[in-house]
Amino acid sequence: MVLLSTHCASGAAYSYPRAQNVTWSSTNFKTVLSWGPQPSADYSYTVEFFVAGGDRKRNLHCIRSNATMCDLSISLTELKSCYSADILSKPPLGTTSDDNEFPHTTSPLFCPYRETEIGRPTFNLTVHEDKKTVTLHVTDPLTAVFKDDHQLSIRDIFSDELQYKVSYWKQQSTGSKIQTFSSSVIEITNLDRGESYCFKIQAHIPSRSENQFGQLSETKCSHNDEEPVLKVYSPAVIAGGILFILLVVGLITTIIVIYCSQKGKALKSGTEGCPLQDV
């Protein structure tokens, strides 16, 4: 998720360049503010962030810094509030100044709860004995938010608002079905026995007006032990296997025939070379 920047210029003229191209980037509440250009040795950047009408705050790692990014993940504690940030161009660390105002650029508004992107979930699948039901065990993605030294998952933060959209299809088919579930343990029923199915999952937060869907998971497929050979292997592979077997059988047969022929000749030659004995 990337937001374009807006600019707020100070009333006086300063020699320090203002920050440009200010953007927020946030996934699972791991939130980074970025901008440019890279400062020269003559100036640095300081970030001040605030909720509308609230006090200005600073992150210790983003004061008089020559970096062009600031990780505010642990600083934006009011997840349902909306934040702005000012990037101030100031003298470098260790340099004093009599100025009280400095050139700055104000970021776009950012609302973590509504705007952070939800990362891809992971899951395992279990095929039931009836071969018609598959259970998906989803691991809720962890976030950059901690509470009482415990790292919170997206389920901890969004609670009942979090759903999972599941897309699934027969392994040899292009058509897919979609279902939405509120639980992290998902049962897909009424599948065709004897078929392998593939699944992919993404988080869904329907209460959002934008960014409702998270990143797609990797695709995982079930395996049916009863599948016919023609479904598991292509005709070309099967034909190649048959040809290989025939070649091996033919080679063995040829070796046996040659061996028996040579042995027969040797026996015949040995018989003709022996004189008859008197009885």
Domain termination site, one of 187, 203, 227 = 227
Q: pLDDT at position 186, please?
A: 97
Q: Are 26 and 117 in contact (CB under 8 A)?
A: yes
Which pLDDT value is given to residue 14?
A: 53
pLDDT reported for residue 10: 39
Could you tell me which of 136, 135, 133 has the C-alpha nearest to residue 191?
Answer: 133
CA 22/CA 85 separation, integer angstroms = 10
User: Final residue of a domain: which of 93, 115, 137?
Assistant: 115
Same domain (yes/no): 92, 170: no
Give pLDDT, residue 2: 46
- Residue 202 is predicted with a pLDDT of 98
Q: Per DSSP, which regions of 68-215 are E strands?
A: 69-71, 83-90, 104-106, 122-127, 134-139, 142-147, 150-153, 163-170, 177-181, 185-188, 197-204
Same domain? For 82 and 152 the reply is no
Same domain for 170 and 141, yes or no, is yes
102 with 132, same domain: the answer is no
Question: Is 76 a domain residue?
Answer: yes
Residue 43, in any domain of the structure: yes
Instruction: Let me know whether 34 and 104 are in one domain.
Output: yes
Query: What pLDDT digit, counting tens, does each position of 196-207 carry?
Result: 999 999 999 999
Question: 144-161 pLDDT, tens per residue?
Answer: 999 999 999 999 999 999
- For the chain, residues with pLDDT lower than 70 are 1-14, 98, 224-234, 264-279
Predicted local distance difference test score (pLDDT) of residue 145: 97
Domain count, the chain: 2
Do residues 110 and 189 share a domain? no
Residue 248 lies in a domain: no
* 274 domain residue, yes or no: no
Do 130 and 223 belong together in one domain?
yes
- Residue 138 has a pLDDT of 98
Domain-located, residue 15: no
pLDDT of residue 269: 64
Whole-number pLDDT of residue 265 = 67
Distance CA 200, CA 136 (A): 10
**Distance (Å, rounded) from C-alpha 83 to C-alpha 53?**
10
Angstrom distance (rounded) from CA 86 to CA 6: 10
- Give the predicted TM-score (pTM) of the model: 0.73
* 144 falls within a domain: yes
- Sequence-ordered alpha helix ranges (H) in 76-144: 112-115
Give domain status of residue 128, yes or no.
Answer: yes
Instruction: Give pLDDT, residue 122.
Output: 97
3-state secondary structure of 270: helix
Q: Report the CATH number that the domain containing residue 57 is assigned in CATH.
A: 2.60.40.10
Range of the domain at 129: 122-227
User: Considering the domain boundaries, does residue 25 fall inside one?
Assistant: yes
